[in-house]
Amino acid sequence: MIHHIPNVLSTSQVQYFREEMDKIEWVNGKVTAGTLSATVKNNQQLPEDHPLTHHLGTIILESLGQHPLFLSAAIPLDIIPPLFNRYESNESFGFHVDNSIRRIRGTNERLRTDLSCTVFLSEPDEYEGGELVVEDTYGFHDIKLPAGDMVLYPSTSLHEVTAVSSGCRIASFFWVQSMIRDESERYTLFNLDQSIQSLRMQLGDQHQDVIKLTNMYHNLMRKWAEL
């Protein structure tokens, strides 16, 4: 399932990100591409090991740690620290699938990539083209969100970033290992959690139906979670 996660970053945070990024020299985006992806990847990135990359990534992670919709949809176990890319002058990233296992930079720790994330840092009217196109069971979906919003989608999906014909598209990208490996189980838990939250607003936390559904949610989590 593809999730739109709004307001991961505020307008002022996006402005701060952009101002700080303008001070840094970007590098060729192929440095983080796999063997096959490198053949279709043509963009720029902030250097992985630059202090600004770590600083801005930490701000995103702190925001996501308090974002109820993200936590409900991803059920995160761990997150690869965010990276940042830029597309301009007909740069693009052709159809590819993300690596199934990625190493956390600076460590020997490896994570399974269950979910891919893109936080948009440019407004849609700042550039032409540059859509994130994600394929799922129902076809292809063109995604171009307001600055500060994020799209979350299964890392198993083929996807691309179309060529930017004018302007500049800036974004953050990273991956999540979920406690729930299976996508259908994760979707079931998401729908159940959203229903519980809605009923809590209508009926209160102590209503019998809320308690029963919460019990069901945690028992399913107990059955399916991998820690």
Tens digits of residue pLDDT in 138-155: 899 999 999 999 999 999
| DSSP codes, 25-62 | --EEGGGG--TTGGGTEE-EE--TT-HHHHHHHHHHHH
Based on the domain organization, do 48 and 16 belong to the same domain?
yes
Burial per residue of 79-100, b for 16 or more beta-carbon CB atoms within 10 angstroms, e otherwise: bbbbbbbbbbeebbbeebbbbe
Our count of domains for the chain comes to: 2
Q: CA 32, CA 120: separation in Å to the nearest integer? A: 19
**Looking at 160, 178, 196, which one is the last position of a domain?**
178
Q: Are residues 216 and 118 in the same domain?
A: no
Q: How confident is the model at residue 38 (pLDDT cuts 50, 70, 90)?
A: low
Q: Are residues 192 and 173 in the same domain?
A: no
Q: What is the pLDDT, as a whole number, of residue 106?
A: 81
Residues 199 and 137 in one domain: no
Confidence of residue 36 (pLDDT cuts 50, 70, 90): low
Give me the pLDDT at residue 101, please. 95
Q: How many helices (H) and strands (E) does the chain have?
A: 5, 16
pLDDT of residue 11: 98
Alpha-carbon span 101 to 78, nearest angstrom: 13
Q: Residue 205 sits in a domain of what CATH number?
A: 4.10.860
Domain region containing 193: 183-224
- Asked whether the beta carbons of 178 and 75 are under 8 A apart, the reply is yes
% of the chain surpassing 90 pLDDT? 90
Please indicate, yes or no, whether residues 49 and 108 belong to a single structural domain of this protein: yes
Name the pLDDT band for 37 (thresholds 50, 70, 90): low
Beta-carbon neighbour count of residue 39 at 10 Å? 12
Rounded-to-integer distance, Cα 74 and Cα 117, Å: 10
Q: Mean pLDDT over residues 188-196, rounded?
A: 98
Q: Are residues 173 and 201 in the same domain?
A: no
Q: Residue 39: its pLDDT value, please?
A: 78
Q: Are residues 13 and 101 in the same domain?
A: yes
Specify whether 172 is located in the same domain as 137: yes
Q: What is the CATH number of the domain that holds 74?
A: 2.60.120.620
Describe the crossing of helices 208-224 and 183-203 by its angle, rounded to 10 degrees: 160
Average pLDDT, the chain: 95
Tens digit of each residue's pLDDT (9 = 90 or more) over 58-71 = 999 999 999 999 99
188 and 171 housed in the same domain: no
Q: Note the pLDDT of residue 85.
A: 97
Give the model's confidence band at 222: pLDDT under 50 very low, under 70 low, under 90 confident, else very high.
Answer: very high
How far is CA 16 from each of CA 20, 22, 169, 225, rounded to the nearest angstrom? Answer: 6, 10, 16, 37
pLDDT digits (tens, 9 = 90+) for 71-112: 999 999 999 999 999 999 999 999 999 999 999 888 889 999
Residue 35: its pLDDT value, please? 63
Tokens for 109? Answer: 């720790």
- The token duo for 51 is 């202090």
The residue out of 145, 160, 178 marking a domain boundary is 178
Statement to judge: residues 92 and 58 lie in one domain: yes
Query: Taking 90 as the threshold, does the pLDDT of residue 32 lie above it?
Result: no
3-class state of residue 107 by DSSP: coil
Q: Are residues 130 and 190 in the same domain?
A: no
pLDDT value, residue 124: 97
Burial class (CB in 10 A: 0-12, 13-18, 19+), 34: middle
51/122 same-domain check: yes
Beta strand extents in the chain (DSSP E only): 3-5, 27-28, 41-42, 44-45, 76-79, 83-88, 92-96, 101-103, 110-112, 115-120, 127-129, 132-136, 139-143, 150-154, 159-161, 164-178
